[in-house]
Amino acid sequence: MSRNSENGWRSKELPYDQVIEKYPEIPPIVALKIDVSRRGIHYTQAALDRVDPDKHHVEPYNYMIGHGKNAAPIGLFLRDGSVICQGDTPDYSKAYRDPYTLDVVDGRLVLTDEEIGKVYEEVTFWDRPDFYDKKTSNGTPMCLVASARPQRITIAPQTKCHFWDTPGEGCKYCALFSAHRSKDDEGEIRDEKWFQDVEETTREALKEKGRYCSFHMTAGSTLSGAEIFDDEVDLYIKTLHAAEKAFKTEKFPVKLVASAFSKKQLQRMYDETAITTYTTDLEVLNPELFKWICPGKSRLVGYEEWKHRLYDAVEIFGRGNVDCGIVGGVETAQPNGFADEDEALAAVLAEAEEMGRHGVSFADCVWNALPGSMFVNQKTPSLEYYVKLALGLAEVRRKNGLKIYTDDYRRCGNHPNTDLARID
């Protein structure tokens, strides 16, 4: 028995097979994807031996999560073409549950549960983007300028989040950009050379026929400027202007995941760039828990103001073109979160319904207590909870007549609730 199974977690919650039986409205493959995101994946050596760095998408360093020393895949394809945006996390010693295992069985690459000896799904690695092997005219490897999923290009113009500048004020579940948390680290210098690299990399990426259907941009929060986030807005505008030179159209599907900008800043983004949708993450749909879990966001912007800025964004971008990112499940973190999953779900969906009426859609990420985060020792909710949350959020969106364009299963693929848009 593995160390993680010794606490008896398997007997305390419904397993995958029973969850899909109890909730026939959730496609089994979406439920599996949720469970893999929740429990994580451990790659066996046989699976790692299948990785061909010339053919498969591997990254020497996962810039989003910041841990993992070996070049390894950052995602998998499921049989229906949907994706799991998660790589190998080698250390599960602090996790509450066993991870799924990526293994080779009968010559096939498969997701298994080693403990119970069951094979679930055949998977494949993502293809290596063509531009990864190229360099810009400045000699910069393009794989350091942009990242990619199977269907979108991602540029992160800044990998430092300045909420961490005040000790303890970063979000407690967050493992993003953990290599750049020291106060003295200013993050990357983005000079004219870098913007030229962005233009050339975007142009090169677009040569891969039929691959990319959206452009994604995100960064850590930058608090500086005459008004909070002004410098972040400037950086996004300059980066988008650089990328726009590679496109032939005035607008193209741009998904921006950014801080909660003021109405003036949002209007600037809308008027001056090709941006089509905007996402800003309230993270946890409860004012008290927001204060505890996201102390920097709470002190500098506040829950109600963050929400208001989402509503302002709807006025500018239109209903359904504004998403609120949430870390689904983090509302049960202890000691301050909901101890009862039913109460947690009712509270979250009531708040989601109010925001949905204002035209805001949701992008639900599955909370996984990741190494590098302050919540690494926490117990995340049951699979049943995550499934009910995904179904509930999908229903809020449908009821309020909202679309989920750049965050849907085709263009993003990281959110169980938006994966369900395919069966609307």
Binding to ligand SF4 by residue 171, rule CB under 6 A?
yes
Judged by beta carbon, residue 246 or residue 369, the one nearer ligand SF4 is: 369
Judged by beta carbon, residue 259 or residue 321, the one nearer ligand SF4 is: 259
Quote the least distance from Cβ 233 to ligand SF4, whole Å: 15
Judged by beta carbon, residue 50 or residue 309, the one nearer ligand SF4 is: 309
* Short-list 175, 252, 245, CA closest to 216: 252
User: What φ, ψ does residue 217 adopt, rounded to 5°?
Assistant: -135, 135
Can you list the alpha helix ranges (DSSP code H) found in 245-302? 263-272, 287-293, 295-300
Judged by beta carbon, residue 130 or residue 188, the one nearer ligand SF4 is: 188
Which residues in 282-341 contact ligand SF4 (CB under 6 A)? none
Quote the least distance from Cβ 39 to ligand SF4, whole Å: 21
Q: How many residues bind ligand SF4 (CB under 6 A)?
A: 9
List CB contacts of 158: < 8 A, sequence separation 6 or more: 187, 188, 190, 219, 220, 222, 232, 235
Q: Which residue has the tokens 């509930």?
A: 392
DSSP string, 333-390: -TTTS-SSHHHHHHHHHHHHHHHHHTT-EEEEEEP---TTSTTTTPPP--HHHHHHHH
Judged by beta carbon, residue 177 or residue 194, the one nearer ligand SF4 is: 177
CB contact at 8 A, 172 and 373:
yes
Binding to ligand SF4 by residue 366, rule CB under 6 A?
no
For residue 304, the surrounding DSSP H or E stretch is helix 303-317
β-sheet with 214-218: strand ranges across: 147-148, 152-155, 214-218, 254-258, 277-280, 322-328, 361-366
Quote the least distance from Cβ 9 to ligand SF4, whole Å: 26
For residue 397, the surrounding DSSP H or E stretch is helix 383-399
Sign of the C-alpha dihedral computed for residues 399, 380, 77 and 212 taken in this order:
positive
CB contact at 8 A, 350 and 286:
no
Judged by beta carbon, residue 161 or residue 345, the one nearer ligand SF4 is: 161
Quote the least distance from Cβ 43 to ligand SF4, whole Å: 25
Judged by beta carbon, residue 104 or residue 179, the one nearer ligand SF4 is: 179
Give residue 126's identity as a one-letter amino acid code: W
The stretch among 111-119, 151-159, 171-179, 349-357 that binds ligand SF4 (CB under 6 A) is 171-179
- Given 100, 126, 163, 375, the residue binding ligand SF4 (CB under 6 A): 163
Quote the least distance from Cβ 84 to ligand SF4, whole Å: 20
The stretch among 123-131, 168-176, 182-190, 204-212 that binds ligand SF4 (CB under 6 A) is 168-176
The stretch among 108-116, 172-180, 182-190, 225-233 that binds ligand SF4 (CB under 6 A) is 172-180
Which residues in 206-265 contact ligand SF4 (CB under 6 A)? 220-221
For residue 59, the surrounding DSSP H or E stretch is strand 58-59
- Given 36, 84, 155, 176, the residue binding ligand SF4 (CB under 6 A): 176
The stretch among 163-171, 193-201, 350-358, 408-416 that binds ligand SF4 (CB under 6 A) is 163-171
Quote the least distance from Cβ 242 to ligand SF4, whole Å: 23
- Given 65, 161, 235, 333, the residue binding ligand SF4 (CB under 6 A): 161
Which residues in 8-37 contact ligand SF4 (CB under 6 A)? none
Judged by beta carbon, residue 43 or residue 177, the one nearer ligand SF4 is: 177
Give residue 121's identity as a one-letter amino acid code: E
CB contact at 8 A, 133 and 127:
no
Show the CA angle centred on residue 121, arms to residues 23 and 383, nearest 5°: 35
List CB contacts of 139: < 8 A, sequence separation 6 or more: none
Judged by beta carbon, residue 40 or residue 220, the one nearer ligand SF4 is: 220
Binding to ligand SF4 by residue 170, rule CB under 6 A?
yes
The stretch among 4-12, 111-119, 169-177, 331-339 that binds ligand SF4 (CB under 6 A) is 169-177
CB contact at 8 A, 179 and 218:
no
Quote the least distance from Cβ 302 to ligand SF4, whole Å: 14
For residue 200, the surrounding DSSP H or E stretch is helix 192-205
Judged by beta carbon, residue 4 or residue 86, the one nearer ligand SF4 is: 86
Euclidean distance between the first and the last CA atom of the chain, given in angstroms as a whole number: 42
State CA 84 to chain mean position distance. 11
* Short-list 97, 37, 43, CA closest to 65: 37
The stretch among 49-57, 81-89, 106-114, 170-178 that binds ligand SF4 (CB under 6 A) is 170-178
Binding residues for ligand SF4, rule: CB under 6 A, are: 161, 163, 170-171, 174, 176-177, 220-221
